């Protein structure tokens, strides 16, 4: 357990101390700000628009966080350090996954400002200092402290960052109260976090299969694109109702009936694999156990194969 | 302490190492001597559990590296051929990370890191980013990484490779200090290095072990003649004539184009030093040099493998 924590901590720090982590974070904040502000201009104070549209950007941004996880270690030879230490493959994979997942958590946390602003916008008469301004300030303080704590490896700073984070979250809860209809925001964030977790797990798997980071990035992005946008587009064009056999069937109509069934089943299977569909459920405040099960099983399967991949390089 | 038994590794059709068998005893320094691509790194990678053997077993302190891998790896400190360093970390945080994944108890981590930085003499660079260190310093950090958890077995793959003469002397002194407390297995293609450091030498050539013995025994085994180096301040031809006339001298070989320097060979058990000195002095010439030449590992290597070894980079 301590080993997993140590590896996760190193991974998290590597993202905070390297430019790549900041580039991804900056892009993410820029894109999500655009999708937050755009509906505000049309007098729609809602976070659903943001959650629905930011996915396609995560498809390209998150693989940039995961591409180096194992590929870089293989390239520079640091994998020899891990593999000859008393560390199991499972500990390596879980540690790296938790580290990058924590960084994604910080990325999502840095968008909490939107919720704070929304609460204020929805109830214009409310006092702007609490929770909105306090929350915004606390959120900014958290991120600065967290960065400093990681750079200086300082425990007190880390604790201070944690306190600031709790303050922010308290303010966010009050803001949600002001918003009135707070369910979709909470489940939306949960969905976004879970979906990112799936993306990261798939990215980690891809990174373990190559020593080239570019290949890891491109293949992850391609798979994710397939699982979100492409499937959504395909299922949109496939029939969503069961085919019916004509009343007076001849041979040709049997053939087309069979063909239609194949296409229908294909559409249903694809729909079941489409991450986007489930995310829309989350964004509307629908918490379906099937969605969560799909997400968790995708994560578990990806991590399992990542562990197998590492073990194969050692023992096969 | 370390038992390697019948180790084979096959890459496709080529046999990289073939039936490699040797033991290292508690507290001794064992040098693994061979040319480049003789199978040294392959053997070491298998011994540390980084790579599986095609057949054969490795036991570290009784634990099999495949059956009981984590237990075996717990006892190993390994310096790979390429230093396994995370360039974005500082020296101290890197060594702390290494200590923690090697299961050093939390409250001992700081002390161990401190001590190891002191012993490889990088304590004044503790807060430097590893990526900014020179090659020699990187090598030292990598060596510190192998020592930080105070392992019973140290496996060092070409520990002085790529260092300047001063650094080589430093690292060798450090390794010599480890004798007794640690079992050290080091690989090298430099004959003088094996001679200077090791209690016993394993000579590997073309993936096979061709000799295993102490330095003295190995050299004694190939010593067929006794050789002296003589220099006198007198004309070349006269000195040669004088040397040839000494009873017991079998061969006189000129080793300098201008000065009167010769190598004199006699039977293995015959010490001609006093007779040579007497002879030169009685002829009225100043004797400038008289030295008994010990057979070098170069000779050992030659006589065993029947081929020339890589030229020794004589620095010590």
**pLDDT tier at B315 (50, 70, 90 boundaries)?**
very low
Predicted pLDDT at B243: 87
Q: What is the mean pLDDT of residues B218-224?
A: 71
CA distance A27 to chain B (A): 22
Q: Which of B43, B32, B35 is nearest to B9 (CA)?
A: B43
Chain A CA closest to residue B101: A3
Contact A77 B102 (CB under 8 A): no
Considering A273-282, B207-216, B217-226, the range whose residues carry the highest mean pLDDT is: B207-216
Predicted pLDDT at A316: 54
Contact A85 B83 (CB under 8 A): no
Contacts of B45 in chain A (CB under 8 A): 80
Domain coordinates in residue numbering, chain B: 2-220, 224-294
Contact B89 A18 (CB under 8 A): no
**pLDDT tier at B306 (50, 70, 90 boundaries)?**
low
Contact B97 A88 (CB under 8 A): no
| Residues B228, B245: Cα–Cα separation, whole Å | 15
Whether a cis peptide bond, with omega within 30° of 0, leads into A131 is: yes
Contacts of A83 in chain B (CB under 8 A): 49-50
CA distance A199 to chain B (A): 25
Contact of B101 with A3, CB cutoff 8 Å: yes
Lowest-confidence range among A247-256, A277-286, B269-278? Answer: A277-286
Check pLDDT > 60 for residue B204. Answer: yes
What is the residue-averaged pLDDT of chain A? 86
Contact A82 B101 (CB under 8 A): yes
Please give the order of strands across the beta sheet that includes B225-232.
B249-254, B261-267, B225-232, B287-293
Predicted pLDDT at B297: 65
Q: B200-205 and B208-214: which strand pairing?
A: antiparallel
Predicted pLDDT at B310: 44
Predicted pLDDT at B311: 41
* More confidently predicted of B112 and B299: B112
Q: What percent of chain B has pLDDT over 70?
A: 94
Check pLDDT > 60 for residue B313. Answer: no
**pLDDT tier at B113 (50, 70, 90 boundaries)?**
very high
* More confidently predicted of A177 and B108: B108
Q: What is the mean pLDDT of residues B120-145?
A: 89
Considering A132-136, A311-315, B45-49, the range whose residues carry the highest mean pLDDT is: B45-49
Q: What DSSP line would sit under chain A, residue for residue?
A: -HHHHHHHHHHHHHHHHSHHHHHHHHHHHHHHHHHHHHHHHTT---SHHHHHHHHHHHHHHHHHHHTHHHHHHHHHSTHHHHHTSS--HHHHHHHHHHHHHHHHHHHHHTTHHHHHHHHHHHSTTS-SIIIIIHHHHHHHHHHHHHHHHHHHT-HHHHHHHHHHHHHHHHHHHHHHHHHS--HHHHHHHHHHHHHHHHHHHHHHHHHHT-S-HHHHHHHHHHHHHIIIIIHHHHHHHS--S-----SS--HHHHHHHHHHHHHHHHHHHHHHH-HHHHHHHHHTT---HHHHHHHHHHHHHHHHHHHHHHHHHHH-
Predicted pLDDT at A150: 77
Chain B CA closest to residue A3: B101
* More confidently predicted of A140 and A281: A140
Topology at the third CATH level for domain B2-220? Rossmann fold (3.40.50)
Among B45, B50, B102, select the one facing A86 at the smallest CB separation. Answer: B102
Predicted pLDDT at A315: 66
What is the residue-averaged pLDDT of chain B? 86
Q: What is the mean pLDDT of residues A223-227?
A: 87
Lowest-confidence range among A1-5, A134-138, A233-237? Answer: A233-237
Q: What DSSP line would sit under A64-101, residue for residue?
A: HHHTHHHHHHHHHSTHHHHHTSS--HHHHHHHHHHHHH
Contact of B181 with B14, CB cutoff 8 Å: no
Q: What percent of chain B has pLDDT over 90?
A: 29
Check pLDDT > 60 for residue A63. Answer: yes
For chain B, the residues whose C-beta falls within 8 A of a C-beta of chain A are 45, 48-52, 66, 70-71, 73-74, 76, 78, 80-89, 93, 97-98, 100-103, 106, 145
Domain B224-294 class?
alpha beta
Contact B103 A3 (CB under 8 A): yes
Sign for the pseudo-dihedral over CA of A96, A102, A105, A109: negative
Classify residue B25 as exposed, middle or buried by CB count within 10 Å of its CB (0-12, 13-18, 19+). exposed
pTM of the model: 0.83
């Amino acid at each position: 357990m301590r080993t997993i924590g140590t590896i996760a901590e190193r991974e998290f720090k590597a993202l905070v101390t390297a430019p790549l982590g900041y580039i991804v974070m900056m892009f993410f904040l820029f894109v999500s700000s655009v999708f937050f502000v755009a509906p505000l201009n049309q007098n729609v104070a809602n976070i659903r628009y943001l959650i629905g549209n930011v996915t396609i950007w995560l498809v390209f941004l998150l693989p940039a966080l995961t591409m180096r996880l194992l590929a870089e270690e293989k390239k520079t030879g640091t994998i020899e350090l891990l593999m000859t230490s008393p560390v199991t493959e499972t500990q390596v994979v879980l540690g790296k996954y938790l580290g990058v997942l924590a960084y994604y958590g910080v990325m999502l946390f840095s968008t909490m400002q939107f919720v704070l602003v929304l609460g204020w916008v929805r109830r214009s008469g409310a006092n702007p200092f609490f929770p909105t301004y306090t929350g915004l300030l606390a959120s900014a303080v958290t991120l600065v402290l967290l960065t400093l704590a990681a750079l200086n490896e300082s425990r007190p700073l880390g604790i201070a960052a944690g306190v600031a984070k709790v303050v922010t979250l308290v303010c966010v809860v009050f803001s949600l109260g002001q918003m009135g209809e707070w369910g979709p925001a909470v489940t939306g964030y949960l969905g976004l976090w879970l979906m990112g977790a799936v993306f990261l797990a798939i990215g980690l798997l891809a990174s373990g299969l190559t020593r080239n980071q570019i290949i890891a990035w491109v293949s992850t992005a391609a798979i994710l694109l397939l699982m979100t946008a492409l499937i959504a587009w395909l299922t949109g064009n496939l029939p969503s109702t069961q085919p019916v056999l004509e009343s007076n069937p001849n041979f040709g109509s049997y053939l087309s009936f069979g063909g239609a069934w194949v296409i229908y089943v294909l559409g249903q299977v694809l729909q079941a694999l489409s991450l986007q569909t489930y995310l829309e459920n989350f964004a509307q405040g629908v918490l379906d156990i099937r969605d969560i099960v799909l997400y968790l099983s995708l994560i578990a399967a990806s991590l399992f194969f990542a562990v197998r991949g590492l073990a194969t390089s050692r023992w096969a | 302490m370390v038992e390697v038994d019948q180790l084979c590794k096959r890459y496709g059709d080529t046999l990289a190492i073939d039936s490699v068998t040797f033991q290292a005893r508690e507290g001794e320094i064992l040098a693994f001597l061979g040319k480049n691509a003789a199978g040294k790194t392959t053997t070491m990678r298998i011994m540390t559990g980084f790579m599986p053997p095609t057949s054969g077993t490795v036991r570290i302190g009784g634990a099999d590296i495949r059956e009981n891998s984590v237990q075996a790896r717990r006892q190993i400190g390994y310096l790979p051929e390429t230093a396994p360093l995370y360039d974005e970390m500082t020296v101290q945080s890197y060594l702390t990370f290494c200590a923690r994944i090697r299961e050093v108890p939390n409250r001992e981590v700081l002390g161990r890191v401190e001590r190891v930085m002191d012993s490889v003499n990088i304590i004044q660079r503790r807060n430097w980013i590893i990526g900014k260190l020179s090659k020699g310093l990187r090598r030292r950090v990598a060596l510190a990484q192998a020592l930080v958890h105070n392992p019973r077995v140290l496996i060092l793959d070409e520990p002085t490779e790529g260092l300047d003469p001063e650094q080589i002397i430093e690292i060798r002194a450090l390794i010599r200090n480890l004798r007794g407390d640690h079992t050290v297995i080091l690989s090298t293609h430099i004959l003088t290095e094996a001679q200077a450091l090791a209690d016993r030498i394993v000579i590997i050539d073309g993936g096979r072990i061709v000799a295993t013995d102490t330095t003295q025994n190995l050299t004694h085994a190939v010593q067929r003649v006794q050789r002296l180096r003589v220099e006198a301040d007198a004309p070349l031809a006269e000195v040669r004539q004088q040397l040839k006339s000494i009873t017991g001298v079998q061969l006189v070989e000129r080793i300098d184009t201008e000065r009167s320097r010769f190598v004199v060979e006699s039977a293995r058990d015959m010490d001609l030093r006093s007779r040579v000195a007497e002879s030169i002095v009685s002829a009225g010439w100043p004797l400038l040099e008289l030295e008994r030449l010990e057979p070098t590992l170069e000779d050992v290597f030659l006589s065993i493998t029947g081929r020339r070894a890589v030229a020794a980079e004589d620095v010590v």
